[in-house]
Structure 1
Amino acid sequence: MQKQQSCPPSAPGTDSLSHSLTGNLKSLLNLLGQSGDLVVRDFLLFGKYQASMVFFSSMVSQEQIQEHILKPLMARPSGHPGFTDNLADMVHYIWNTAVQVTQGTTEQLISFLPPAIVKGELVLLIEGVNEALLLDMRQIDMRGVEQPQTEQVIRGPREGYVEKLENNLALLRYRLQSTDFRIEISPLGTRTQSRVALCYLDSVADPQLVAEAMHRISIIDTDSIIDAGYIEQFIEDQPLSPFPQVQSTERPDKTVAALLEGRVAILVDGSPFALVVPALFNQFFQTVDDYTERFIMGSLIRLIRLVALSFSLFFPAIYVSVISFNPELMPTDFAVAISGGRAGVPFPAVIEVLIMEVSMEVLREATIRLPQMIGGALSIVGVLVIGQAAVAAGLASPITVVIVALTTIGSFATPAYNAAIALRMLRFPLIILAGMFGMYGGMIGTILIINHLLFLESFGVPYMSPFIPGKWRDWKDTLVRVPLWWMRRRPSFLHIQDSSRLPASTPGAYADQILQQGGEADEHSKADHNAASGSRDQ
């Protein structure tokens, strides 16, 4: 049991617990106020001392209280060996001998008791004792661990974070069973007092990065932290940028992979998401499937994802610029087909594309907010019926519907939701620039976006790393993914302490062993197989 380091009261004697149980209860209830779930349980301690327990019934396990606290404390002194009548040592005797609780503290200041009760602790007050015993009995019903909803994978773990911080930390401990794994927990929010956990690997993460993350969290001064997204908005480098500089994930395996690279993870009690810093541009287009599949398949999937990214950002602007300013770039037959489809459309290409894009965004938002059973039906109706009706009514041409559909599908292929929103938002100024200046406007918009990306940083790390500045060994996990045994060192731009992943002197895969040993491994395997066959024949 730990004794809290209490600060001296503002007026001597006014904040300290007295020897009167009635006076202590009155002062405590005045601080807590009237609440329907506030319970004051009076009982006889060991059958001879007046005592009271104060707790919120909605925050604790009443079955555990009855079994492990009330039952032993209401027993007669004969049932407790070594019982003492000394009230000065009563609190410590109860903790060491009677109650069956793993965590508890003692406190002598009344002002420290209400925050503890609100967090789910039980306060035990005894007549004639000016010290309270605080027992951690918190138990809140939560949903079980299930598959993440926003990060679906084909091949990989099916477990995701829940709202309870202890469960989330247990998921990380289960996957990262290392003595170097560090967790720093501190409360945030003057009213909510939400517990925030900072996680990192002590022997890998850059100490300056850990100190910077702790500093940014410590200077947050707000009355409430409801979700991890609140902290993200306080600690990011450029709040006005559309691109996210903090990665959010609800997958423990993804968090552990980031910790092993030297990053820092931030978790909040009550949020099923973890924040990973620093977050770079290429991280938002990588998934767990890239690593659980063989490197050829993972690289192909990643390239397809990058093509979809290009579709979602540039395709409408290229279409508008070609139709409005540069039709000579199209083959003659294709240009004639497009002009025939647009014959009855009364709007310029830029207005037509903007109307369709805005309609698609409205439809997408409505699909997200509707119940799941209805949302799927609405998306099909929107794509098929509304698109066909727009073409039949002459509001849009068939090629425009195809362009907008490919753009929307490309944005769905972006794994990170916040990164997909950034691309969706930047699509509109690119369309407007292309409608005003053609290909020149599209190029100007693209150059501005690239310059902005080069300007961004995340916790002191350039946002476009490892592309600029870059090293060859850091490019092994960017546009494509090389085999795992080729990635022997961690990313250099994170300034980690231990950069080694695999020993540099040993082969990383069975195929490498065959190449380095001149086929000896294959010969040994054949000899063993022949020996086994011969033993079976005998």
Structure 2
Amino acid sequence: MHDQEKSEPEQILNQYKDITLNGSIEEVVSFINNLLGQNDDLIIRRFKVFSEFPAVIFYFSALTDQVMINQEIMKPLMYVPEHLQNEKIEISVLKNIISDQALFYSQSKFERYLGHIAEAILEGKTVVAVEGMDVALLIGSRTVDKRAVEQPQTEQVIQGPREGFIEPLISNLGLLRYRLPTADFRVNITKIGTKTKSMVAVCYLEGIVNPELVKEVNKRLSAIDIDGILDAGYLEQFIEDNHFSPFPQIMNTERPDKTVANMLEGRVAILVDGSPFALIAPVVFSSFYQSIEDYTTRYLQGSFVRMARVVALVFSLIFSALYVAIISFNPELIPTKFAVAVAGGRAGVPFPAVVEILIMEVSMEVLREATIRLPQQVGGALSIVGVLVIGQAAVAAGFASPITVVAIALTTIGSFATPAYNAAFALRMLRFPLIFLAGIFGLYGLVVGLILICNHLLSLRSFGVPYMTPAIPWNIQGLKDLVIRAPFWWMKKRPPALFPLDTDRLGPDMKQIVLQNSDNALDPSKMGNQEEDK
């Protein structure tokens, strides 16, 4: 034990990982004390099982409900069951009596290795060791405070569910199982992180998802060797295909309904204990401007809103650079009357258009970041008042022209219309090199910059799936859900780029059933004839 005291806790745990109990609770107490004894929230309580067998209980008070432990674990163990009060209990049958007759816990098991016992205590379980027993009882008693399930803050919709993921993994899996009461739903849980030992769940639908995709996801996750995983974003950076691309190749979402919808198409969802976000893989570029609301509303409304969203996406990327290119190099493209108005507005501005746009863009990014970091009560006022005051003051002071303020406003509003924050962030980053190219080479620089971005998008892969699918490579089935959202009865197949095992989404006769003429049961002409017959 003297050498054990000099060792680091992790070294002690590795040293005793494969050592089994020998029936002495003193050895267990000594091992736990040396490993975890310096923690003030570690509870080590001695008592007697059935008032006869010496025992000790271990748990962390910060991870468990002590009232529950007192009432549902210690009390049943200290009192002899009524039907056994007049019988002699032998140590050989004590194990079966505890598990089968004394405790009423479904999450309980016996463990004989000291290392596994210590890991169970660290996970929030309660451990009971009894003198003379070569195994210890592990009871799932973890209780951690959590926030209520509420509407996602980053993906709000007008029509659709109002539930969002929260931090505990078990609660998030429950939200998925609530929507997928099928035997095909599979959950594989592993631990990643040498210190945090974070539980990571890989979720998919067997019979739909391609097994090679599941194998590749598990392969990339198993290769991660890091001390801690604190959020799903950690995993995203390790398992994406291109680490230097500004475009995300894995989607993160707070919405259980969106997660289930992607799993039904043949994708894999990855959840991390402690993170309210799920990772969806693989994804394509069109996934980032699609919203769950496109499918919960009628297809005409969904298609209209999606097309408006695509226009806003293009605006957010090129409008500032296009303004710089036209003002600086090609003013002849502007109508004469409008050109006169623009020239009058820029008369007192001392900077070139490119410098003016860069100043306003940087100011807008700083203001946006400040709005996010400030308390909610203050941030809303700053975002509105700040834009109005700073924009008006910049125009009055001669730092910017009114048309520049309008261009920046349109660009910013366009970035807000993109549902996925990480995709909108990528477009915000790419605006700056496009502005530089437009300021140096005009429209030629803007076109060259767009060509480079398109080439990069065409080279990207997400777990082998081309990023611009279904536009390139071209696929008729996928085009029905690209810019417009076609009716459900048009989209009979799952995305072929995912190579799902089950390709059919609809029954063979659904289109005829939906589109067939109804009987018009309450047709006024028919009802009138019935009244006359009466």
For the residue of structure 1 that corresponds to 2:252, the secondary structure is strand
For the residue of structure 2 that corresponds to 1:507, the secondary structure is helix
Is residue 16–residue 114 contact of structure 2 (8 Å, CA) maintained in 1?
no
The aligned residue for residue 96 of structure 2 is: 92
The answer on 1:513 being equivalent to 2:510 is no
Shift of 1:380: 1.3
CA distance in structure 2 between the partners assigned to 1:486 and 1:10 by the alignment: 58
Where in structure 2 are the equivalents of 1:5-404 lying within 5 Å?
Answer: 15-76=19-80, 78-80=82-84, 85-404=89-408
Is residue 205–residue 264 contact of structure 1 (8 Å, CA) maintained in 2?
yes
Q: Deviations over 1:406-432 (max 9, x none)?
A: 101111111100001000000000000
Which consecutive residues of structure 1, in runs of 5 or more, have no partner in the other structure?
1-8, 515-520
CA distance in structure 1 between the partners assigned to 2:206 and 2:72 by the alignment: 38
CA distance in structure 1 between the partners assigned to 2:244 and 2:20 by the alignment: 48
CA distance in structure 1 between the partners assigned to 2:121 and 2:17 by the alignment: 22
Residues 14/291 of structure 1: CA separation in 2 closer, same or farther (3 Å cut): closer
Shift of 1:434: 0.2
Is residue 81–residue 102 contact of structure 2 (8 Å, CA) maintained in 1?
no
Where in structure 2 are the equivalents of 1:384-533 lying within 5 Å?
Answer: 384-507=388-511, 510=514, 512-514=515-517, 521-522=518-519, 526=523, 530=527
Q: Deviations over 1:254-312 (max 9, x none)?
A: 00000000000000011000000001100000111101111010000001111111111
Residues 529/148 of structure 1: CA separation in 2 closer, same or farther (3 Å cut): farther
Is residue 418–residue 424 contact of structure 2 (8 Å, CA) maintained in 1?
yes
The aligned residue for residue 4 of structure 1 is: none
The aligned residue for residue 517 of structure 1 is: none
For the residue of structure 1 that corresponds to 2:214, the secondary structure is helix
CA distance in structure 1 between the partners assigned to 2:503 and 2:110 by the alignment: 45
Using the TM superposition, name which of 165-174 and 82-91 deviates more: 82-91
Shift of 1:78: 4.5
Residues 508/479 of structure 1: CA separation in 2 closer, same or farther (3 Å cut): farther
Return the letter of the residue paired with 1:246.
Answer: I
Shift of 1:81: 7.2
For the residue of structure 1 that corresponds to 2:220, the secondary structure is helix
For the residue of structure 1 that corresponds to 2:342, the secondary structure is helix
CA distance in structure 2 between the partners assigned to 1:201 and 1:523 by the alignment: 40
Is residue 18–residue 115 contact of structure 2 (8 Å, CA) maintained in 1?
no
Is residue 474–residue 491 contact of structure 1 (8 Å, CA) maintained in 2?
yes
Return the letter of the residue paired with 2:370.
Answer: A
Return the letter of the residue paired with 1:124.
Answer: V
Using the TM superposition, name which of 92-101 and 313-322 deviates more: 92-101
CA distance in structure 1 between the partners assigned to 2:14 and 2:413 by the alignment: 63
Is residue 485–residue 509 contact of structure 1 (8 Å, CA) maintained in 2?
no
CA distance in structure 2 between the partners assigned to 1:428 and 1:174 by the alignment: 44
Residues 459/81 of structure 1: CA separation in 2 closer, same or farther (3 Å cut): farther
Return the letter of the residue paired with 1:513.
Answer: Q
CA distance in structure 1 between the partners assigned to 2:311 and 2:85 by the alignment: 75
Shift of 1:90: 1.7
Residues 56/338 of structure 1: CA separation in 2 closer, same or farther (3 Å cut): same
Shift of 1:451: 0.2
Is residue 346–residue 394 contact of structure 1 (8 Å, CA) maintained in 2?
yes
For the residue of structure 2 that corresponds to 1:522, the secondary structure is coil
Which consecutive residues of structure 2, in runs of 5 or more, have no partner in the other structure?
1-12
Return the letter of the residue paired with 1:265.
Answer: A
Shift of 1:11: 8.3
Residues 448/497 of structure 1: CA separation in 2 closer, same or farther (3 Å cut): same
Is residue 196–residue 227 contact of structure 2 (8 Å, CA) maintained in 1?
yes
Return the letter of the residue paired with 1:126.
Answer: V
CA distance in structure 2 between the partners assigned to 1:455 and 1:122 by the alignment: 52
**Count of residues in correspondence between the two structures:** 522
Is residue 91–residue 132 contact of structure 1 (8 Å, CA) maintained in 2?
no
For the residue of structure 1 that corresponds to 2:173, the secondary structure is helix
CA distance in structure 2 between the partners assigned to 1:97 and 1:508 by the alignment: 59
